[in-house]
Amino acid sequence: MKATITATAKYIPKNILSNKDLEKMVDTNEEWIKSRTGIEKRHIVDKDEATSDMCAHIAQKLLDKSQKSAEEIDIIIIATSTPDHLVVSTAAIVQDKIGAINAWGYDIAAACTGFIYALETGAKLIESKKYNNAIIIGADTMSAIIDYEDRNTCVIFGDGGGGVLIEKTHNDYGVLDSILHTDGSGSKFLTIPAGGSRNPASNETVKNKMHFVYQDGKTVFKHAVNRMAEVSKKILQNNSLAPNEIKLFIPHQANKRIIDSTAKKCGLKEEQIFINIENYGNTTAGTIPIAIDEAVDNKMITKNDLLLLTAFGGGFTWGSMLIKWGKVN
C-alpha cells in the first residue's frame, strides 16, 4: 500500500509587493533583487489574514476538487513556521474552520523543508493501513516575521501556501522514497532569536528586533546548494534512476541561483526544472506545494511521471522525495 496524491490546491494572497515597492522602503533596487534572487514580486496577506485562513482556503479547495466531505478527512498536517499561535496548532484551527470533526492533526516546524517532512509523515500514516486519507499543507505568513527595514531578508520572502490530499492506493503511484536530514548545529545561521522559551518576549527583545528572521545568507546559500544536490543525487542512485528519467524537478524556491546550481550538480536539464520564484518569492513551507499545484494546472505532469522534490531550510533541515504521479482531481 502507498499514499498517492489525489488533489492539489494553493492560496496566493491578493496584495502584491513588487521590487519597485521595495525600492521605496529599503536601500535596494529592482535589478539587483532580480539578478541576485530571481524574484520580481511577492504576495502579502491582508491585515486580518493569518496562516490558518490561508490553510482553510487550501483545505476547502482540496475537498471541492476531490468531492469529499470534511467529515471524511482522517488527518490534517500543516507545515509552517508562522502558526497563528504558539499554543494551539494551526491544524486544529483549520480542522474547526472546515468542519473536519473526525480528523486529528498537528503542525510540523521544519522551515522550508516542512512540506516534505509533512508529506513523508502523512504518507507513512496512510501506509500503516489505519487511515484512509490526509490533508497535507505547507503555508507561511512570512510578512509577520520579516523586518521591512532589513534589505537582506525583506526582498526574499512572501506569503502563501499550498497543499495536497493523499489517499491510500494499492498500485505503485504515490510517494516512492524520501531522504530527510536535520543538523541542529546550523540553527544559529537561520532563526528568529526571540519569542520562545530561550528569549521570551520583552521590551528589550522587541527593541532589538529579535522577533524577526535573522539569516546568514552566505552560509545558508552554500549549505542549501550542497545539501539539496547531495540528497537529490542520492535518491536517484537509491532508485537506480538517471537524471533524464525525472519528468519534473521541483526544488524549494529560495533563490534562483540556488535552484540553478542544485540542478546543474544533479545533471538536470532546464526543461526539467520548475521555477516560479519570480512571482511569489520564498514562501518557506509553501513553495513546493504551490509549485505542484501550478504544475498540475499547467498540465506539466501526467500519469506515471516521476517527480523529484528537494528543499533546505532553517534547522538546518533538508531532504528529497521521489513521487510517481497518479490520477489527480
pLDDT recorded at residue 327: 84
Q: Are residues 205 and 124 in the same domain?
A: no
Query: pLDDT tens digits for 213-252?
Result: 999 999 999 999 999 999 999 999 999 999 999 999 999 9
Please report whether residue 329 resides in a domain: no
Catalytic residue check, 252: yes
User: Is the same domain home to 199 and 319?
Assistant: yes
User: Which comes out higher in pLDDT, residue 23 or 327?
Assistant: 23
Task: Please report which confidence band the pLDDT of residue 9 belongs to, taking 50, 70 and 90 as the band edges.
Answer: very high
Q: Are residues 137 and 191 in the same domain?
A: no
Domain boundary among 171, 187, 209: 171
Q: Total structural domains in the chain?
A: 2
C-alpha span between 173 and 327 (Å, rounded)? 9
Q: Is residue 282 annotated as part of the catalytic site, yes or no?
A: yes
In a domain, 78, yes or no: yes
- pLDDT at position 329 is 79
What are 63-88's pLDDT values in tens digits?
999 999 999 999 999 999 999 999 99
The verdict on residue 284 lying in a domain is yes
Rg (CA), the chain: 19
186 and 199: one domain?
A: yes
The side-by-side arrangement of strands in the sheet containing 2-11 is 2-11, 159-169, 133-141, 75-79, 104-108
Inform me whether the pLDDT recorded for 131 exceeds 90. Answer: yes
**Beta strand pairing call for 317-324 and 2-11:** unpaired
Q: pLDDT tens for residues 250-296?
A: 999 999 999 999 999 999 999 999 999 999 999 999 999 999 999 99
The CATH number of whichever domain residue 118 belongs to comes to 3.40.47.10
Of 43, 133, 252, 255, which is the active-site residue? 252
Q: Which listed residue (19, 43, 57, 112) is catalytic?
A: 112
Residue 107 structural domain? 2-171
Question: What is the CA 46 to chain-centroid distance, rounded?
Answer: 20
The reported pLDDT for the residue numbered 63 is 98
